[in-house]
Amino acid sequence: MTELILRHSDVLRSGASAQLTRAELHKRRSTTLHGHDFYLLLWVQNDGLRLHTAQGRSDHAEGTLLFLRPQDRYALQGRGTAPVVAAVSLAPDLVEDVGNRHPSLAGHLFWSTSETPETLMRDSRQLAAINTAANALERSACDALAAEAFVLPLCAACLPGTDVPHDAPDWLHAACAAAQTPAVFVGGAAGLVATTGLGHPHVSRSMRKWLGQSPSDYVNTQRMKYAAARLIGGSDGLAEIAADCGIPNLSHFHKLFRAAHGMTPQRYRRTYQRDLLQP
């Protein structure tokens, strides 16, 4: 498969360190993977998208953030009626400088060492905050100061593992961060444990000690957050959403969702799609 590489010198105007772009995605699959020598924060504004990489494909609902790096090669395919994304292109030297000055970012977001881009789900309030910050960036000079003013608060808010005590082992922080992504939570507790390289009993004891819950409990919480965003962000069927969560048994999916959100998936969709479209 051929590759197209975009250069920041061609994308960012002279003196700019950032640029905001909005686009409606095509629904046809591209036969070409592409990449860029800059960093790109992309979020799903409406409906959903399918991300194609050399490692496979993954579906992402409205509210998903993707942290795309210079080494990533990918293609985007729209899903739904009107799939819209917004993206902020960031100069490579700016992102690398931020990472060097803030060691706590190592291994996360743009600085992840995973084969595929890191993704995070944001709820409607969090997504509105990102859009507000992006609009302010668009109205600015888009220079290094404005770009950093956009990047730093967002990264601080998105740093994973905020529910893990700061003095917990580093591997536990990393595992809980990984478990917030579909690529990991689709594998359930075993998927989380596999990211640690440790034995299941040790991981389970540690999670109960530091978090008061089992690996399965933690993973299921992340699955239900993802399911909720999918339900209000598109029209995908329950069976498809459940399968993408790694729970093909619909009865079990209903039970977990109701325990997490206090209502059935169908009622959740009716309630929040209605409130979103007709407040």
| Rounded Cα gap, residues 120 and 100, in angstroms | 22
| Rounded Cα gap, residues 124 and 103, in angstroms | 29
Q: Which of 85, 57, 60, 118 is nearest to 234 (CA)?
A: 60
Q: Over 50: is that where the pLDDT of 60 sits? A: yes
Write out pLDDT tens, residues 16-26.
999 999 999 99
Q: What pLDDT was estimated at residue 72?
A: 94
* Enclosing H/E stretch for 178: helix 170-178
Q: What pLDDT was estimated at residue 77?
A: 93
**Tokens 């595929």 found at:** 116
Q: What percent of the chain has pLDDT over 90?
A: 60
How distant, in Å, are the alpha carbons of 57, 119, 234 from that of 29? Answer: 11, 20, 19
In the DSSP assignment, the letter for residue 13 is P
0.75 exceeded by pTM: no
**Tokens 């998105």 found at:** 158
3-state DSSP: the chain helix, strand, coil percent, rounded to 5?
A: 50, 20, 30
How many Cα neighbours within 13 Å face the side chain of 120? 22
Domains of the chain: 3-158 (2.60.120.280), 170-277 (1.10.10.60)
Mean pLDDT, rounded, of the chain: 89
Q: What pLDDT was estimated at residue 275?
A: 47
Q: What percent of the chain has pLDDT over 70?
A: 95
Q: What pLDDT was estimated at residue 134?
A: 95
| Rounded Cα gap, residues 164 and 266, in angstroms | 32
| Rounded Cα gap, residues 198 and 189, in angstroms | 13
Q: Which of 36, 50, 30 is nearest to 4 (CA)?
A: 36
